Amino acid sequence: MAEAAETLDGWYCLHDFRTINWTEWKAFSSAEKQEAIAELNQLFSDWDLNHQVHEGSYGIYSILGQKADFAFMLLRPTMEELSTIETQFNKSKFAEITEPAYSFVSVVELSNYLGSKNGDPYAHPLVQKRLKPTLPDMGYFCFYPMDKKRQYGDNWYMLPMEERKNLMRSHGQIGRSYAGTITQIITGSVGLDDWEWGVTLFANDPLQFKKIVYEMRFDEASARFGEFGPFYVGLHQSPDAFIQSLSL
């Protein structure tokens, strides 16, 4: 049996994609709209407070194309907290006019492919920072789920550890050439959702998503072993901008 990589696991993560039923929103009376907006403001200010004290993080994104209208990315230390937030939102007036489009449940993950073997990795401040990330204030967001192939002949999980380390080293080298341009958060979802990882990328130039994903397609870790789900791309929105967009 090939040696399993050890993972370091951080905050739990919920990606929640929804569509808006504009016909129903427009049919709300102005009192109903005000109630919906007041509740949203309250929810967003709770999320923001949590984000400020670094007990979690959140991002609001306006999604381009027909797969969804908006997405929330929420990070919390426990699944219970994420579940509470999800229920709070679902009970809100605004949620009455939204429909589920896609969701993804995962946990922020780092692997030991490239780390040193010395000491407790959780003790490093840099590791803590990556496991409990503050979502960046960058203009664009890209999310997709992925697997590593498990086919006869090309089975990632049957490769010896050394070989996987080499492949991840090359992957990391490409990734690092995008330092400062792209921020990535890899969340593990084996046993939690239908794919093995969620890849969330942030950039100030959306063209960089196309560049990095394309370049990685030629790298063996992706070229031979990567299998990809649907891609979602969108624009980062402040709570105020999100609420503003409802009255456009």
Identify the three-state secondary structure at position 101: strand
Stretch of 55-63, 66-74, 106-114, 236-244 lying at the interface with ligand VOV (CB under 6 A): 106-114
Q: What is the C-alpha separation between 195 and 190, in angstroms, rounded?
A: 7
The tokens of 187 are what? Answer: 């969340």
- Does 102 participate in catalysis according to the annotation? no
Position among 111, 134, 170, 204 found at the interface with ligand VOV (CB under 6 A): 111
Show Cβ contacts of residue 96 under 8 Å, excluding neighbours closer than 6 positions.
24, 36
Shortest distance, position 172 Cβ to ligand VOV, whole Å: 3
In eight-state DSSP terms, residue 124 is -
Ordered alpha helix ranges (H), 92-206? 125-131, 161-176
Interaction pattern, residues 158-197, with ligand VOV; x per rule: CB under 6 A: ----------x--xx--xx-x---x-x-x----------x
Total chain residues near ligand VOV (CB under 6 A): 25
In eight-state DSSP terms, residue 166 is H
The tokens of 222 are what? Answer: 């992706």
Element (H, E) at 91: helix 79-91
Nearest residue (beta carbon) to ligand VOV:
175
* C-beta of 106 vs 222, nearer to ligand VOV: 222
Q: Residues interacting with ligand VOV, by CB under 6 A?
A: 5, 110-111, 113-114, 146, 148, 168, 171-172, 175-176, 178, 182, 184, 186, 197, 199, 201, 212-213, 216-217, 222, 226
